[in-house]
Amino acid sequence: MITAEQKPIEEIRRMIEPYTSVLLIGCGSCVAECAAGGEKETAILASALRMAAKMEGKTPVIHEKTVERQCVKDFILPLAESIDDYEVVLSLGCGAGVQAVAELFPQIPIVPALNTGFIGETRDQGYWVETCTGCGDCMLYWFGGVCPLTRCAKQLLNGPCGGSRDGKCEVNPEVPCAWQLIFERLSAFNALDRLEDIYPPKDWSQKQGLGPRKIIREDQQRQET
Amino acid sequence: MTATLTGDEFTVALFYCQNTPGSGEHERRSLEKRFRASLRLYPLPCGGRLEPRHLLRALEEFADAAFVLTCPAGECRYFEGNLRTEKRVQHVRNIIESIGLKPERVGSVMNSKEDPKPLVVIAQGIMAEIARLGHSPVLHPRPPWTDTKEKGEMPCDYR
């Protein structure tokens, strides 16, 4: 999932200050899972913004709605019924959600309320950790399901740096050494021979350098009429 | 400002765990009779059911302060409801402080294990404390030429 954290309220208030009617749009998917932009967080932020305005004697219209998935056009289309009643949209979606709303409703300014973080997993309640860089050429098979690009501080593909101590990374001793994990997992499956290959430097052209990446699946596309 | 124990001038939203000692229907009715609309009581099946937005909505719409009373440490029927409440209250305190409201307007009271106080006694303590804090600037906005933000103080022990 995509993780995010809410921007400081002060920063959000500065961005929406010129407007007198604001629609907060939450997202019920990834950012709800990481407690940044779901229905609850949207209600909390809306309430805080209304109170802050009231304290200054202002009475802006601040309403909130949460869609199931802000990055999918079909889920945000129903907003068309009411979005023109507002001067600005404050999105609690990830960067993809913000841009999807901006593209679908070009007539209304949009303000992001979150700082989008990384692709990660929920390791525990209230604890999210980055586990995928989105490199576009997954090598998890070769590394026993542990990504050295994301989880090794030095992004080494051909073995450990030699600096780890007690299984912990020398750059950040709170983090387990990714290569220690790779070694342990491949050992458990008798697959250490996968490490005998030499892996060339990562081909980053799969990830960046050509503008936004696209996936096109004709079998999933709507029939042209 | 004069503190009034009857709480006529201020409104407090008090969420409370129904499992905490001395928080039955009889106590609730007696409190409502005494404080009338100044004390709005919200019984919860467990303090852990309280969400930050409940406290914020109360502050936004009618309350000068919003509090929650939970079971003593180690006594929660659901093991950690009271501990979760404490963390959520702290989260709300951070939020309201960031918009310039005194964090003391939100609080949690974990009942004492050794000497549990009934709801009535705790409510009285909270009402007295809120009288000291004064009206919420959310419900009674100050003129724009004055400092609209409140300054925080150290939290008090309401037990």
**Residue A106 and residue A162 in one domain:** no
Q: What is the mean pLDDT of residues B130-135?
A: 90
**Residue A19 and residue A86 in one domain:** yes
Distance from CA of B150 to the nearest CA of A (A): 10
- How far apart are the C-alpha atoms of A94 and A112, rounded to whole Å? 8
Residue identified by tokens 């409703």 is: A105
Average confidence score pLDDT of chain B: 87
Reference B82, options B109, B106, B53, B113; nearest CA is: B109
Phi, then psi, of B41 in degrees rounded to 5: -105, 135
**Residue A13 and residue A114 in one domain:** yes
Return the domain boundaries, chain B: 12-133
Query: How many domains, in total, are found in chain A?
Result: 2
Helices A39-55 + B81-98 axis angle, to 10: 40
CB contacts < 8 A, A to B, total: 56
Q: CB–CB of A169/A176 below 8 Å?
A: yes
Dihedral of CA atoms A162, A164, A169, A174 in degrees, nearest 10, equals 180
Interface check B52 vs A, CB under 8 A:
yes
Phi, then psi, of A165 in degrees rounded to 5: -130, 130
**Residue A12 and residue A76 in one domain:** yes
**Residue A33 and residue A102 in one domain:** yes
Q: What is the mean pLDDT of residues B109-128?
A: 90
Q: Which residues of A are less than 8 Å from B57 in CB distance?
A: 43, 47
The band of B158, judged by pLDDT with boundaries at 50, 70 and 90, is low
In a domain, A103, yes or no: yes
Chain A residue with CA closest to B136: the answer is A55
- Whether residues B149 and A55 touch (CB distance < 8 A) is answered with yes
Structure token pair of residue B124: 């009285």
Residues 6+ apart with CB under 8 A from A221: none
Q: What is the mean pLDDT of residues B18-43?
A: 91
Distance from CA of B55 to the nearest CA of A (A): 9
- How far apart are the C-alpha atoms of A74 and A104, rounded to whole Å? 10
The size of chain B, in residues, is: 159
The domain in which residue A144 lies consists of 135-199
In a domain, A154, yes or no: yes
Mutate to test the interface with A, among B99, B101, B105 (most CBs of A within 10 A): B99
Residue identified by tokens 């001067």 is: A87
The band of B151, judged by pLDDT with boundaries at 50, 70 and 90, is low
In a domain, A211, yes or no: no
**Residue A100 and residue A15 in one domain:** yes
**Residue A21 and residue A57 in one domain:** yes
Q: CB–CB of B74/B95 below 8 Å?
A: no
Q: Which residues pair with A165 in a beta bridge?
A: A168
Residue ranges, chain A, pLDDT below 50: none
CATH 3.30.1360 fits B12-133, yes or no: no
pLDDT at A205: 85
Determine which of A103-112, B8-17, B74-83, B103-112 has the lowest per-residue pLDDT on average.
Answer: B8-17
SS3 B128: helix
**Residue A109 and residue A159 in one domain:** no
Pick from A118, A145, A177: which residue ends a domain? A118
**Tens digit of each residue's pLDDT (9 = 90 or more) over A7-45:** 999 999 999 999 999 999 999 999 999 999 999 999 999
Q: Which residues of A are less than 8 Å from B98 in CB distance?
A: 8-10, 48
Q: Which residues of A are less than 8 Å from B105 in CB distance?
A: none
pLDDT at B149: 73
pLDDT at B145: 67
Reference A37, options A108, A101, A112, A87; nearest CA is: A112
**Tens digit of each residue's pLDDT (9 = 90 or more) over B42-81:** 999 999 999 999 999 999 999 999 999 999 989 999 999 9
Cβ atoms within 10 Å of A122's Cβ, excluding its own: 14
- Whether residues A55 and B148 touch (CB distance < 8 A) is answered with yes
- Whether residues B98 and A51 touch (CB distance < 8 A) is answered with no
In a domain, A42, yes or no: yes
Distance from CA of B27 to the nearest CA of A (A): 31
**Residue A8 and residue A114 in one domain:** yes
In a domain, A150, yes or no: yes
Q: Which residues pair with A63 in a beta bridge?
A: A23
**Residue A21 and residue A108 in one domain:** yes
pLDDT at B4: 44
- How far apart are the C-alpha atoms of B5 and B130, rounded to whole Å? 10
**Residue A7 and residue A104 in one domain:** yes
Give the one of B53, B99, B148 whose C-beta lies nearest to A9's C-beta.
Answer: B99
**Residue A68 and residue A19 in one domain:** yes
- How far apart are the C-alpha atoms of A151 and A132, rounded to whole Å? 8
Q: What is the mean pLDDT of residues B36-45?
A: 94
